[in-house]
Homo-oligomer: A and B are copies of this chain.
Amino acid sequence: MKKLINNPENAVVEELQGVAAAHPDLVKVHFNPNFVVRADAPVKGKVGILSGGGSGHEPMHGGFVGMGMLDAACPGAVFTSPTPDQMLEATKAIDAGAGVLHIVKNYTGDIMNFEMAADLARGEGIQVESVVIDDDVAVKDSLYTAGRRGVGSTVLAEKVCGAAAEQGLSLAQVADVCKKVKDWGRSMGMALTSCTVPHVGKPTFDLPENEMEIGIGIHGEPGRVRMELKSADEIVEMLMEPIISDIPYKAGDEVLMFVNGMGGTPLLELYIVYRKAYEIATKHGLKVVRNMVGPYITSLEMAGTSITMLKMDDQLTKLWDAPVKTPALRWGV
C-alpha cells in the first residue's frame, strides 16, 4: 500500500486537522465527535444543511462546507457511515431555529444513523427533514444498499439546497428543492482500478490489467458487468444509455452534465469523457446548460469516472449559479 499517510488509524483525523489549518476563514473542525462546520454557524434565520458519510470521497462532503452550500458535514471512517452522535451534534451546531435538512446518500448504515440522529434532534425541539439521494442507475440493490445507491447527484443537491437556504427558503421549501434533485438526477460510474482502504491495506477488489467494471459503486461495490477494457467513447456510451433512458429525458430538456473523476483519473481523460457525453446528450436533443468536470465525489485513488445528469429548470439553474464559497467549490464571491 503506497499512501501519503502516517498511522492508517489516524488518517481521517489528520486530514481534518489539515482542513482546519488550511481553511479557518471558511470552516471550523469539531473533534469528538468529528464534524466540519461553517465558521459562522449557526447562521441566523437560515435553514441548516447537513450531509455526511464515510471518508474517502473527498472533497465530498467536508470540502463543500461554507456559504451557499453545506452548514456542516460529518465524516465517518473511510467508507464507513458516521455515527448518530456526530450527526446530532452537527445538527445542533447549525440549527438557528429554522430547522435542518439532512441530505443522505442511500446506504443502509447512513440511512439508519441519520434517522436516529433526526429522531434525537427532534426530541430536543429541532425541526429536521431528510431527503435520501438514490440516483445510481447501475444496480437495484447492492452490497450496502437496499434500492439504488446515492452518488453524484448528492453534490448537486448540496449546492442547490445550500443556495436555497441562503435565499431564505423555509425548511419544507428547501426539502422540496432536494427532492427535485433526487427525482431529476441520474448517475452511473465505472472503474479501471480498485482503491485501497488505508486500514485494510490491500485493494478492495482485483481487476485484471485488461478489464474494467461498469456500474461500480463508490466503495468498490459490484456493478453491472466486468468486461475487457474498451475505448473511452464506448465506455461513455455504456454509461449514458442507462442514464438517458431512465428519466426519460425528452428533446429540448435542459440538463446539467457532471463528469466526475473517481480519484486516480487525470483531468485530461475526464475531458475526453465529457466530449463524448456532451455529444450523446446533444444528439438526444438535450441542451447542456451547465456542467462540472473534475474529481468531486471520489473513491480514494480509484481510476475511473462517473457521469451524472440532472434535468434543470429555471429554479435549479438560478440556485446553481448563486454564489458559493467552500474549500472545493467557489464562485461569485
Contact = CB atoms under 8 A, between A and B. Distances in A.
A278 interface: yes
B15 A272 contact: yes
Given A278-B22, A330-B330, A3 B300 contact: no
A14 B300 contact: no
Contact of A231 (B6, B21, B232, B295): B6
Interface string A29-67: 000000000000000000000000001101100010000
Given A6-B231, A331-B331, 15 more contacts: A4-B232, A4-B265, A6-B232, A11-B268, A14-B271, A14-B272, A15-B268, A15-B272, A18-B272, A18-B275, A56-B268, A78-B268, A264-B264, A267-B298, A301-B303
Interface residues of A, number: 62
Contacts of A272: 4-6, 11, 14-15, 18
Contacts of A291: 22
Please report whether the interface of chain A is mostly helix, strand, loop or mixed according to DSSP.
mixed
A316 interface: no
6 contacts: A4-B270, A14-B275, A17-B271, A21-B274, A55-B268, A59-B267
A233 interface: yes
A50 to B, nearest CB: 20
Contact of A2 (B63, B78, B193, B231): B193
A5 B294 CA distance: 16
Interface in A206-235: 209, 212, 229, 231-233, 235
A322 interface: no
- By Cβ-Cβ distance, the 5 closest A-B pairs, closest first, are A18-B271, A18-B275, A58-B267, A4-B269, A2-B192
Interface in A279-333: 279, 291, 293-295, 298, 300-301, 303-305, 325, 327-328, 330-333
Contacts of A55: 268
Contact of A266 (B209, B271, B273, B300): B300
A12 B330 CA distance: 28
Interface in A234-272: 235, 263-272
Nearest to A10: B272
A225 B12 CA distance: 29
Contacts of A330: 330-331
